[in-house]
């Protein structure tokens, strides 16, 4: 079991900042179109974090033309170029699924001051 743990520890990324649920983040994703590759930004609120270690994922939700779009990113994936935290959210829940029912200003998360 120590061999498996050693292999996964080598593949963990250290350049990803500390993410928490409720944070507004910019995720820069590598998109491959044919032979070309470019970086596309996806900005939204983290509503869910799941797993741990090499299998850790986080789900980002944003509103696009009034329609909620959610996308799940593996934290240690090579397709994730970088992640920037725009603002830290002040929340009291482990999962923010209640944001799915809200639109507009009601779907906002309060900002945590002091960070």
Domain CATH for 7:
2.30.30.790
Would you state the pLDDT for residue 115? 63
What mean pLDDT do residues 5-28 have?
91
Is residue 27 in some structural domain?
A: yes
Q: Is the pLDDT of residue 2 over 90?
A: no
- In terms of residue numbers, what domain contains 89? 2-99
**Residue 72: inside a domain, yes or no?**
yes
Q: Are strands 24-33 and 80-87 parallel, antiparallel or unpaired?
A: antiparallel
What pTM, to 2 d.p., does this model score? 0.87
Considering the domain boundaries, does residue 115 fall inside one? Answer: no
The total number of structural domains in the chain stands at: 1
| Model pLDDT for residues 17-67, shown as the tens digit of each residue | 999 999 999 999 999 999 999 999 999 999 999 998 889 999 999 988 888
Residue appearing with tokens 């061999």: 3
Q: Assign 72 a pLDDT band (cuts: 50, 70, 90).
A: very high
Is 109 within the bounds of a domain? no
Mean pLDDT of 82-96: 94
In a domain, 7, yes or no: yes
Q: What is the C-alpha radius of gyration for the chain, rounded to an integer number of angstroms? A: 16
């Amino acid at each position: 079991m120590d061999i498996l743990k050693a292999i996964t520890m080598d593949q963990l990324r250290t350049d990803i900042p500390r993410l928490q649920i409720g944070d507004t983040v910019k995720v820069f994703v590598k998109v491959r179109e044919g032979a070309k590759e470019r970086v596309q930004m996806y900005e939204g609120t983290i509503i869910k974090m799941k797993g741990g270690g090499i299998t850790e994922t986080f789900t980002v939700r944003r509103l696009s033309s009034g329609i909620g779009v959610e996308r799940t990113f593996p934290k240690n994936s090579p397709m994730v170029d970088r992640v920037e935290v725009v603002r830290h959210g002040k929340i009291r829940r482990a999962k923010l699924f209640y944001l799915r029912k809200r639109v507009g200003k009601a779907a906002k998360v309060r900002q945590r001051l002091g960070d």
